[in-house]
Amino acid sequence: MSETLFSKIINRDIPADIVYEDEQCLAFRDIAPQAPMHILLIPKKPIPKVADSEPTDQMLLGHLLLKAGEIATAEGYGDAFRLIVNNGEKAGQTVFHLHMHILGGRELTWPPG
């Protein structure tokens, strides 16, 4: 897989406002926030999109979900937040390194656009 913006953030080649990191994942604030809390949570493993993940990624994908909840709670939005994973261009994905948007701090309507 070719290097993406997010692998450059993992490698500290470009700066980001990092809010959480462990050996498997990294979380940083979105540069164009769509809510008072808008954090991107990414695996360090460069999986392009969620549909490209494999059975061996099961633990990693579960880890991301667990950490998303912990991060939202640590940010003070544990009672109401939304997780979004865009998969593919037509679904709005622009960076092809799997990432979860963690949004909170405003009313989030349904259905999403």
- Would you please indicate which residues are annotated as catalytic (active-site) residues? 99
Tell which one of 19, 30, 46, 53 touches ligand AMP (CB under 6 A): 30
Query: Could you tell me the smallest distance in angstroms from the CB atom of residue 112 to ligand AMP?
Result: 12
Q: Judge contact between 56 and 43, C-beta under 8 A.
A: no
Check residue 90 and report its DSSP letter. G
Tell which one of 12, 23, 56, 94 touches ligand AMP (CB under 6 A): 94
Based on the shown chain and the rule CB under 6 A, indicate whether residue 92 belongs to the binding site for ligand AMP.
Answer: yes
Q: Residue numbers of the site for ligand AMP (CB under 6 A)?
A: 5, 16, 28, 30-32, 40, 86, 92-95
